[in-house]
A and B are shown apart, each in its own frame.
Chain A
Amino acid sequence: MRDGVSPHFAIIYQVSGAVIGELMQTEQDTLKTTPNRLHPKQGEVIDRSTTIRFTFDGVKYIAHPGDTVASALTAAGVKVLSRSFKYHRPRGLLCCAGHCPNCLVQIGDEPNVRACMRSVEAGMDVRAQNVWPSLNRDLLSLTQLGSRLMPVGFYYKTFIRPKKLWPLYEHTLRHAAGLGEVDIDTPSGKFDKQYLHTDVVVVGSGPAGISAALGAAEGGAQVLLFDENSALGGHLRFTVPLHSSLPSQVSKDLPELLEALSQQPNVTAFTDTSVLGWYQDNWLCAAKGARLFKIRTKSVVVATGAYETPLIFDNNDLPGVMLGSAAQRLLHLFGVLPGRQVVIVTANEDGWDVAADLQALGVNVAAIVDEREHNACSSPYRDGLANIGVPVFYRHTIREAIGSSAVSGAKIVRLDGRGEIAPATTQVLQCDLIVTSMGWTPATELLYMAGGKSEYSADRAETVPVSTPPGIYVAGRAAGIHAVDSQITEAWQAGSNAATFAGFGEFDELAAQASDISEPRRTSERVCVPGKKKRFVCYCEDVTDEDVETAIAEGYDSIELLKRYSTISMGPCQGAMCSMNTIHLCARANGRTVQETGTTTARPPIAPVTLGALAGQNVEPVQTTPIHQWHLDHGANMMVAGLWLRPNHYGDPAAEAVCVRKQGGLIDVSPLGKLQLTGPGVPKLLERIYTNQWHNLRVGRVRYGVMCNDEGVVLNDGVCAHLKDETWYMTTTSTGATAVFEWLQWWLQSGWGEGVHLTDLTDTYAAFNLAGPQSRTVLEKLTARNLANKAFPYMRIRSAKIADVPCQLLRIGFTGELAYEVHCPSGYALHVWEALMDVGRELGIAPFGLEAQRILRLEKGHIIVGQDTDAMSDPLSANMAWAVKLNKPDFLGKPSLMRISAEGPKQLLVGFKMVDPDVVPAEGLQVVAPEVDGRLKIIGWVTSSRFSPTLEEAIGLCWLPADLASQNGASFTIRMGGDLKAAHVHHGAFYDPSGERLRM
């Protein structure tokens, strides 16, 4: 066994009397004592050598390291830990295993903590939840006075009229509901995740789980063993298994098993780790504190054990009513007495074990109430307990728990020959603890998620697995096997089979078949004892058996409808305590069998898991350009653009725009998509994916192109340069780069790829656009290349060394000015940028950001795909008809565009100016036309708008009906606030419409 395991046998016997004495002296007025703490005993998990303090609702308590909040409070005699969800009834420890809602508390800023699972830490601030004003005097419990008016689903039938009062009712309902509180100042915390890969996963480390792990590891498989408890061993940690054919040996089972495990290097064990779910292809998820594990395994052994099933009887939720296994956990793990005088209610030998345990540790067993006949009991303690005078009531059961906020007695009743309550046989027994051991519900969530199926066995009154998918194995109580020696032998085989499935060893058909284990019935079919008070089926939601009957009578008669209407099993326990009992009640009410009634779907997570653990370490990719730090150092205001962080401006975007027009500016456009296409097939491909012509583009030239999908919708735009004979260089929009790359890969790989290789160079080159009348002058100082207009005209590409770095220069730009786009290898980016800035600064060049670029491009009437167009826009409508050549052969979108062309676009994207030049209509505002009835009809909308610092007036782009858009100067109105503002259509660029400046 490798790390991850901390054997719990480190027993420290010495009680540090001095420390406790000191504490008692100084704070005896306020500090609670621990009257229920037993003497040290073997197997306990607490460290008695030290004492730590914590508070519960402001009162100070002491605990030992290893104590849970619940065990420490029980040691101090605290019985009420919470109030119920609907009626605010007092609730105490029920399962002590983290499966029920009864001990949910707030610890500091953490809501809904299971007190029975959380170890005490010094200074912990534990508080009761959902109580007002306090746990012991919760006025909200008055709601039960009206409980007859609040049957199941009462809220569907009330507060309907008058309608206007519903918000008030709702407010009251909301504030009475809910459990723990979220503290707005909770820090985000540190969480992380880890992927694990293994051959076999074993879930649950009871005798079956450990044995299965050993069986699998022996075969050579790597095994991961998980347990939600703080130590390995499962029920062997707190039970003395006597129902074995080898009674003298099994008491040593756990130490032996743990020893064998520690010798086995192939097993890695994880304690305090809840397996949360099974997902497709044996993908498991588990949580250990702040870490989430994602596990890929070849096979799984489900050794998850069973939930002890509560009995439904009058006041069965009273603090002091506890499951047998809970009492044993308190006794053996924490040395805590759950009560002083106990009535045991049982239907199996497990109840007798608990009785013997309690008796031996000084609890007075007031009675054992066994619903079976005398001769059905085969407990080895039977005679011993009877001999020392423990009263035993065979063929009896409990009728009612007596007490107001804790148990003070038990009303028991005799059963007649048919198992019905015999009239006038009630007796009252004094006690402060009622322990029920009525049987088990196998914990089959994981099995069901994996596609396994169970059937109800009426003989056993339990469900037993009947089919498991390949690679999934079940062992131990989850498989209906209760006897420890059978658990160990069967589970070994299950583990071995799991290893075989994972590819270790030959499959042994005979050995693989589970032998027919004959198990005595341990579980009672009696789930409910009728009575006159409240009997809770579902502790989370305060649903009683009468509620279940009422719901079924109303028509919510299938288990799924019943669940949704009554909210049974939808609370924090997720059905662990109530699902089997509900199915029995549902079956009975419908006159059907348990098997016919079926179950609800098992859904992850099996144990509640924090959002923090699921989120893990914060990993949100961020892309930065090679000169990111320069931008930060120069006061850039950064903005998020897709995954990129880019400078929006450096302080004054309008001034940056003016500077570009007057002298020049430099913008970092490194995020542009850059794709290299090589091979003889490139021209043919370009013809197919762009809407315009490409075969005639000569080397050294650059052309603008629009890409559409087959719907004719604009996907992307950019330029493509013919670099060399068979080499082309394509640019795309920055946020569309990945999508275009995948799009091209798809067409290349699905039939259009002949003679074309595609390489993504987006990150290989940084790109800067140097724009403005001075740009040539700047560049000339850094290169030997002839930049004269004739040698290097508009829409051309040239290789050149800039500041001694080999670059590609593209004479293109979005700004409408003379401009050069410098593409240089990314590693040289800062060198080239700084060289351009150093030279440019003297000539008045300044850096500019995206906002200035948006102003400049709008002045030119250039569109931005994705802002001015959306997922419905075609290029013919979006003012790009000039880039569509419908007379060339097939290309993407052609049939759709042919149709749009034939029918004529309905809407057109067009420029506009405002009548009032100072009014800038915000992007997203609607173009409207008043109708005769005064209503407004929407006829278009504004996609882009800015105040142009160059023209000193508001300009923009908008969608308009085609007939209106096609009339230059036509008037229309834009709705702004309550007013309608007049605008008129503007055809062509707002600035330099003839395009002289970029051809200078």
Chain B
Amino acid sequence: MSIQLIRQAFNGNRPPPKMWRSHELKEYYDVVIIGGGAHGLACAYYLAKEHGITDVAVLEKSYIGAGGSGRNTAIIRSNYLTSEGVRFYNQSVKLYEQLSDELNFNVMFSQRGHLTLAHTDGGVNTMRRRAEVNQIEGVDSRLIFPDDIKSLCPYLDVSDHPRYPILAALYHPPGGIIRHDAVVWGYAHQADVRGVHIHQNTEVTGIKVQDGKVTGVETTRGHIKTGTVLNATAGWASTITAMVGVKLPLTTIPLQACVTEPLKPFLDVVVVSGSLHVYISQTDRGELVMGASVDPFSSYSMAGSLAFLEGIAGHVLELFPSLSHVRILRQWAGICEMPPDYSPIMGFTPVNGFLIDVGWGTYGFKASPIAGKTLAELIATGKPPILIVPFRLSRFEENDLVGEKGAAAVGH
């Protein structure tokens, strides 16, 4: 029990402390971060905490966490295909493991284990490939077979199913789920405590560039002078980057999710099926949170579709036939900016002082702590940390794409 709560319990009418404050827009900030999601706020926090850079504004056009940070299905894992991906996300998981303590805010990271199912021989091979790469990189991850799958997740149908038999699964014990909003609020609070200005309802309308260098930002609340701008706007990244005349290799596509009514706990692991395009977990409150692959066409619209609900219901029942009476309570959508190689784009752009933290596709939330930390280091030192070098924008021109694409497409 925290002292804070006990104090709050017996303090009678005294208002609880503010998590973050409101400020007038200053004329100048050392660093302006566009996007008040988990990435932007984490970067602000690490800038202040690790580099002593506190003259930072985080500009959010809506409320903090309104975008992908509050719309994802809150799955954390590091069992990627490439060494670059595994190393990067492994650091992220390690930061997440310490995050409640670091932020003094329980983000409820539940490392309950993560299962990726394989339904074909090719799928089994890909899972084995990932397990091997993971193990070599020191990440707990292994291939398991139906008996073990059944004992971890009794409700899965591991029978000799005609259409999508479960042949094996990649089991990743440290993977799990988290309370995504809490991550946003925790970072926002600790950034605020260190002097960062969080400006909600402040939309960027333009970026000033002189002689190839950023000089300021126009907002709906006025002009800000600055020499360093970080674009951490995820789905909207292309629209912000277009303000400095740079084109990105991104396509914005909605990603949808839904949640059921609360049920007594019966699903203890996160279950993912690539072939069936579904992932499912049960929150601590008992709801099933379910997501699918990105929508079939690009859009900035966050209106969900019926086709998504129909598809995911069919696929969930394919895996868990006993859930046919379970009711969907709510659906929603977020937007993702998909890069061609399913890997982020982080760091410098041709415009001096304009940095990007984009290309986060469907895997951005998982990376929030490490993305924030490495970008803070880049901003503070001017040197890209080794972990994010593979993710530079110039890789596309250099024909040096990241290999995560290898596993993502082509399914013979």
Contact = CB atoms under 8 A, between A and B. Distances in A.
Is A–B contact present in the complex under a CB 8 A cutoff?
yes
A130 B264 contact: yes
Contacts of B332: 603
A610 B322 CA distance: 12
B154 interface: yes
From B65, B70, B155, B326, residue with most partner A Cβ within 10 Å: B326
A174 B286 contact: yes
A149 B264 contact: no
B27 interface: no
B108 interface: yes
A95 B307 CA distance: 32
A531 to B, nearest CB: 14
Nearest to B329: A608
A611 B305 contact: no
A623 interface: no
A979 to B, nearest CB: 13
Nearest to A604: B331
Contacts of A186: 321-325
Interface stretch (B120-128, B204-212, B226-234): B120-128
B106 A160 contact: yes
Contacts of B186: 156
A652 B263 CA distance: 47
A182 to B, nearest CB: 5
B325 A612 contact: yes
A588 B124 CA distance: 58
Nearest to A184: B322
B263 A733 contact: no
A915 interface: no
B262 A154 contact: no
Interface residues of B, number: 105
A280 interface: yes
Interface string A865-880: 1110111110000000
A556 B412 contact: no
B285 interface: yes
A159 B327 CA distance: 31
Contacts of B324: 186-189, 191, 610-612, 615
Contacts of B154: 184
Given A157-B2, A279-B305, A565 B181 contact: yes
Contacts of A170: 108, 110, 284
Interface string A138-172: 00000000001101001111111101001100100
Contacts of A285: 306
B325 A158 contact: no
B411 A866 contact: yes
Given A184-B155, A926-B129, A157 B136 contact: no
Contacts of A193: 310
A781 interface: no
Given A180-B263, A572-B261, A614-B314, 15 more contacts: A109-B322, A111-B261, A112-B261, A156-B107, A157-B106, A160-B2, A174-B286, A178-B263, A283-B306, A556-B19, A620-B163, A871-B406, A871-B409, A936-B136, A941-B132
Contacts of B330: 570, 574, 603-605
A561 B284 contact: no
Contacts of B126: 924
Given A156-B106, A603-B332, A615 B310 contact: yes
Nearest to A645: B162
21 contacts: A111-B261, A156-B186, A163-B97, A177-B284, A179-B286, A180-B263, A186-B322, A186-B323, A280-B305, A553-B16, A555-B21, A572-B261, A572-B329, A605-B329, A611-B324, A611-B326, A612-B325, A614-B312, A924-B124, A926-B132, A975-B136
Interface string A610-643: 1111111010101000000000000000011110
Nearest to B409: A871
Nearest to B286: A178
B289 to A, nearest CB: 12
B293 to A, nearest CB: 15
A672 to B, nearest CB: 13
A924 B325 contact: no
Interface in B344-378: none
A603 B331 contact: yes
Contacts of A185: 322
Interface residues of A, number: 107
A609 interface: yes
Q: 6 tightest A-B contacts by CB?
A: A866-B412, A178-B286, A924-B128, A612-B324, A614-B313, A608-B327
B53 interface: no
Contacts of B133: 926, 938
Interface of B: 1-2, 4-6, 8-10, 15-21, 62-66, 70, 83, 97, 100-101, 104-111, 119-122, 124-133, 136, 154-155, 163-165, 179, 181-182, 185-186, 200, 260-266, 284-286, 303-306, 309-310, 312-314, 316-318, 321-332, 341, 399, 401, 403, 405-412
A3 to B, nearest CB: 25
Given A735-B411, A866-B410, A188 B19 contact: no
A600 to B, nearest CB: 11
B331 A609 contact: no
Contacts of A449: 303
A114 B401 CA distance: 53
A842 interface: no
B188 to A, nearest CB: 8
Contacts of B405: 870-872
B324 to A, nearest CB: 3
Given A605-B328, A615-B317, A938 B110 contact: no
Interface in A525-584: 550, 553-556, 558, 560-561, 564-565, 567, 570-572, 574
B63 A560 contact: yes
Contacts of A560: 62-63, 66
Given A279-B306, A866-B122, A922 B128 contact: yes
Contacts of A189: 324-325
Contacts of A618: 314
From A157, A292, A449, residue with most partner B Cβ within 10 Å: A157
Nearest to B83: A938
B12 to A, nearest CB: 10
A583 to B, nearest CB: 15
A158 B410 contact: no
A311 B330 CA distance: 26
B4 A157 contact: yes
Contacts of B200: 558
A181 interface: yes
Nearest to A643: B163
Contacts of A554: 16-19
A609 B104 CA distance: 39
Interface in A492-541: none
B265 A871 contact: no
A149 B17 CA distance: 16
From A160, A193, A639, A867, residue with most partner B Cβ within 10 Å: A160
A604 B306 contact: yes
A736 interface: yes
B83 to A, nearest CB: 6
Interface string A280-291: 100101000000
B5 A574 contact: no
A610 B105 contact: no
From A112, A178, A184, A603, residue with most partner B Cβ within 10 Å: A178
Interface string A318-344: 000000000000000000000000000
A209 B10 CA distance: 53
Given A180-B264, A611-B313, A872-B405, A158 B399 contact: no
A441 B119 CA distance: 49
A314 B165 CA distance: 55
B265 A609 contact: no
Contacts of B309: 604-605, 614
B63 A158 contact: no
Nearest to A941: B129
Nearest to A927: B132
A642 B121 CA distance: 12
